[in-house]
Amino acid sequence: MPIRLALVGIGKIAQDQHIPALQANKSFELVAAVSRSGGIENLPCFADIGDLLASGLDVEAVSLATPPQGRHAIARAALEAGLHVMLEKPPAATVSEVADLAARARDAGVALFATWHSREAASVDAARKWLAGKTLRSARIDWREDIRVWHPGQEWILQPGGLGVFDPGINALSIATAILPEALLLQSARLEFPANRQAPIAAELSLRSGETPVEAAFDFLQTGPQSWDIVVETDAGRLVLSDGGQRLAIDGAEVSAGANEEYPRLYRRFASLVRENASDVDLTPLQLVADAFLLGERIEASPFSF
């Protein structure tokens, strides 16, 4: 029998990614939406998680695609009701919130899946396998995109808890922590905050993976060509992972990859976790962002408006 699932938060990412992935996955039956701003055609829509739980609708799992601020309360209510929970990235507003949810899922005997969709990009697995056993010399992350194109009018991203440029930048950190053979540790950070905002619009991080220096630059004001690239120099050549993990090249030669199925792969993994009553909660990318806020030098930048 398919897992009866409700999708919480019907915004752009839900419309673009979650709904198509769910509709194509026979392990799930999408039975309801939870949103104050829009629903899903031909499905009941509830204003909040409390209304869903009180309705008596037969639901086994929820997938949360809401902004991270306030997500802990939604997930906690679902877990306490015995539902399995999948979390869009970043999994919550703070590291401690996710740790609390992981403990509650364990106590309740249900699945909790903190997802990092960019780890499921087409070439990430191949990059990790190629780097294994190599001597790394340096790595560089460039994650530059136009906030007005990719997040039009999404004020929450630049509010406290919205992560600012780390909302896309955490995707790069999720990939880097998956492909680099040793733990990624922050050394220093420089964060640019618009004078009228509470989250950074740009950031530069210096990190280290073992003895390998790793430099990262994140920019939310990139115009023209956008870039989501990771370059690793090794004793066996240069690895370039581009387009957010979709494309891989070794010393300039393209390595063929399969179809890019980030969200279908996430939902296949979630179905497996639900059947096993198991959890998959990796806090590492969120912890690195928290470390950047702890160590980062704060620079005031020009005011920003959408």
- Residue ending a domain, among 76, 97, 114, is 114
Domain membership of residue 267 (yes or no) is no
Cα distance between residue 62 and residue 67, in whole Å: 15
Element (H, E) at 172: helix 166-179
The residues that are catalytic are 89
Read off the pLDDT of residues 179-207 as tens digits, 9 standing for 90 and up.
Answer: 999 999 999 999 999 999 999 999 999 99
Per-residue model confidence (pLDDT) at position 258: 82
Question: 175: closest CA among 204, 201, 219, 209?
Answer: 209
Mean pLDDT along residues 116-133? 97
Per-residue model confidence (pLDDT) at position 162: 93
Q: C-alpha dihedral over 164, 167, 172, 177, to 10 degrees? A: 110
| Residue 199 and residue 152 share a domain | yes
> For the chain, what is the mean pLDDT?
96
Q: Which residues contact 100 (CB under 8 A, 6 or more apart)?
A: 72, 76
Domain membership of residue 282 (yes or no) is no
| Residue 95 and residue 213 share a domain | no
Domain membership of residue 86 (yes or no) is yes
Read off the pLDDT of residues 273-301 as tens digits, 9 standing for 90 and up.
Answer: 999 999 999 999 999 999 999 999 999 99
Domain membership of residue 150 (yes or no) is yes
| Residue 147 and residue 24 share a domain | no
Cα distance between residue 299 and residue 48, in whole Å: 38
Domain membership of residue 270 (yes or no) is no
291 burial level (CB within 10 Å; 0-12, 13-18, 19+): middle
| Residue 294 and residue 178 share a domain | yes
What's 206's domain CATH number?
3.30.360.10
Q: How many domains does the chain have?
A: 2
Domain membership of residue 272 (yes or no) is no
Single-letter amino acid, residue 7: L
| Residue 206 and residue 229 share a domain | yes
| Residue 100 and residue 136 share a domain | no
Read off the pLDDT of residues 230-265 as tens digits, 9 standing for 90 and up.
Answer: 999 999 999 999 999 999 999 999 998 888 899 999
- Residue ending a domain, among 92, 114, 136, is 114
**78: containing domain:** 3-114
Domain membership of residue 145 (yes or no) is yes
| Residue 176 and residue 41 share a domain | no
Tell me the CB-side half-sphere exposure of residue 82, using CA atoms within 13 A. Answer: 3
| Residue 52 and residue 35 share a domain | yes
Domain membership of residue 275 (yes or no) is no
| Residue 227 and residue 192 share a domain | yes
As separate numbers, helices (DSSP H) first and strands (DSSP E) second, the chain gives 10, 15
Q: Which two tokens stand for residue 35?
A: 């949103």
- Residue ending a domain, among 114, 137, 166, is 114
